[in-house]
Amino acid sequence: MRSWVHQAIARIEADFQRSADTHLIRLELPALPGIDFYLKDESTHPTGSLKHRLARSLFLYGLCNGRIGEETTVIEASSGSTAVSEAYFARLLGLRFIAVMPRGTSREKIDQIRFYQGDCHLIDHADIYGEAERLARELNGHYMDQFTHAERATDWRGNNNIADSIFAQMACERYPEPEWLVMSAGTGGTSATLGRYLRYRRKASRLCVADPENSVFLDYYQSGDRGVTADRGSRIEGIGRPRVEPSFIASVIDRMMRVPDAASIATIRYLETLLNRRVGGSTGTNVFAAFRLMAEMHEAGIEGSVVTLICDGGERYRNSYYNDDWLSHNGLELQPWLDRLDDFYHSGRWTGAD
């Protein structure tokens, strides 16, 4: 058993050694000459999202805690991206993997999980957690439980975590210590890592977390009530949860902002014209919040930098965010937001209350 675990860890380390870090892209905003904006492009991991980092950490955590062995079936509750990355690592270690996901999960993600030889267990109700736990009991497997373990499986002090990587890549920039880091929350693991790292490394940068509709993270942040729930799921895949996930650490967040779903999707459509590429919905939520913060900085005469994440690429959302029929079926009207974004791009100012 121990020798298999040693080999498994060596395989993950060798895979890491073969991997490159992700790019930090600078996006020019000519109307804001005193503000530099950067996007950490997590879509370029081998499995296409920021969840590649988490999946690596969760497997190491499970292996080093003695919970994953040669015969273990690994089970996860996921909105899709984590499961794609975990399926990759399960295949690397020769383990069976089952993803428990909502039936509405995008076809592209399901196909990718299957590509890595993972099984998809799609359910009609919202309780992906309970079903994953039940399945793990039934199969005597290991429930990975990203929503609980994301914040503790990642080494927040450094060790090439995402915060460490961002600050290393910012070292030669005009404003190496950002005014704001901006992220959204699914498990809350990434925002926990960023917020803890800022304190540990004694940085002045502040952390803003953007929350989509149908998510209770912002309500909890304002009320302190951990028991708050929502009865509908988020339409922005990967972020926004109907319960306060254990990995969501409100005390390291300096500010939160609600971002309407239509605004997130309008932002990725607008970004396509600036970046010449497509990104996922949660990136739209991040960038919308970042734009609003930059407009505030501009108005207050504050110069500096702002960093956010491209969480995944847009190819997974061809049939949703990039499909006009899907938008009208969901009652999402983008034009007012596109006008506001264009106005911001050309003037540096924000119009309207949202």
Ligand X SMILES: Cc1ncc(COP(=O)(O)O)c(C=O)c1O
**How many of the chain's residues bind ligand X (CB under 6 A)?**
19
- For ligand X, the nearest residue by Cβ is 238
With binding defined as CB under 6 A, does residue 48 bind ligand X?
no
Q: Which of 306, 310, 311, 341 binds ligand X (CB under 6 A)?
A: 311
Q: Which of 106, 187, 264, 320 binds ligand X (CB under 6 A)?
A: 187
Judged by beta carbon, residue 36 or residue 245, the one nearer ligand X is 245
With binding defined as CB under 6 A, does residue 312 bind ligand X?
yes
Judged by beta carbon, residue 41 or residue 312, the one nearer ligand X is 312
Cα distances (Å, whole numbers) of residue 260 to 47, 251, 294: 28, 24, 18
With binding defined as CB under 6 A, does residue 238 bind ligand X?
yes
Instruction: In whole angstroms, give the CA distance from residue 190 to residue 12.
Output: 21
Cα distances (Å, whole numbers) of residue 345 to 139, 159, 180: 53, 36, 19
Which one of 5-13, 79-87, 289-297, 320-328 is the stretch in contact with ligand X (CB under 6 A)?
A: 79-87
With binding defined as CB under 6 A, does residue 161 bind ligand X?
no
Question: What CA dihedral angle connects 154, 137, 132 and 244, to 10 degrees?
Answer: -60
With binding defined as CB under 6 A, does residue 195 bind ligand X?
no
With binding defined as CB under 6 A, does residue 81 bind ligand X?
yes
3-state secondary structure the chain: CHHHHHHHHHHHHHHHHHCCCCCEEEECCCCCCCEEEEEEEHHHCCCCECHHHHHHHHHHHHHHCCCCCCCCCEEEECCCHHHHHHHHHHHHHCCCEEEEEECCCCHHHHHHHHHCCCEEEEECCCCHHHHHHHHHHHHCCEECCHHHHHHHHCCCCCCCCHHHHHHHHCCCCCCCCCCEEEEECCCCHHHHHHHHHHHHCCCCCEEEEEECCCCCHHHHHHHCCCCCECCCCCCCCCCCCCECCCCCCHHHCCEEEECCHHHHHHHHHHHHHHHCCCECHHHHHHHHHHHHHHHHHHHHCCCEEEEEEECEEHHHHCCCCCCHHHHHHCCCCCHHHHHHHHHHHHHCCCCCCC
Which one of 6-14, 163-171, 184-192, 225-233 is the stretch in contact with ligand X (CB under 6 A)?
A: 184-192
Write out the binding residues for ligand X, residues 272-301 only, by CB under 6 A.
Answer: 280, 282
With binding defined as CB under 6 A, does residue 185 bind ligand X?
yes
Q: Smallest distance, Å, CB 75 to ligand X?
A: 16
Q: Smallest distance, Å, CB 290 to ligand X?
A: 14
With binding defined as CB under 6 A, does residue 249 bind ligand X?
no
Which one of 19-27, 91-99, 181-189, 195-203 is the stretch in contact with ligand X (CB under 6 A)?
A: 181-189
Q: Which of 82, 85, 105, 112 binds ligand X (CB under 6 A)?
A: 82
Q: Which of 184, 205, 234, 320 binds ligand X (CB under 6 A)?
A: 184
Which one of 14-22, 87-95, 96-104, 178-186 is the stretch in contact with ligand X (CB under 6 A)?
A: 178-186
With binding defined as CB under 6 A, does residue 239 bind ligand X?
yes
Judged by beta carbon, residue 291 or residue 350, the one nearer ligand X is 291
Do 19 and 288 touch, CB atoms closer than 8 A?
no
Instruction: In whole angstroms, give the CA distance from residue 352 to residue 328.
Output: 23
Judged by beta carbon, residue 269 or residue 298, the one nearer ligand X is 269
Q: Smallest distance, Å, CB 40 to ligand X?
A: 12
Judged by beta carbon, residue 118 or residue 188, the one nearer ligand X is 188
Which one of 96-104, 185-193, 295-303, 317-325 is the stretch in contact with ligand X (CB under 6 A)?
A: 185-193
With binding defined as CB under 6 A, does residue 190 bind ligand X?
yes
Q: Which residue has the tokens 């304002």?
A: 222
Where on the chain is the footprint of ligand X (CB under 6 A)?
Answer: 49, 51, 79, 81-82, 150, 184-190, 238-239, 280, 282, 311-312
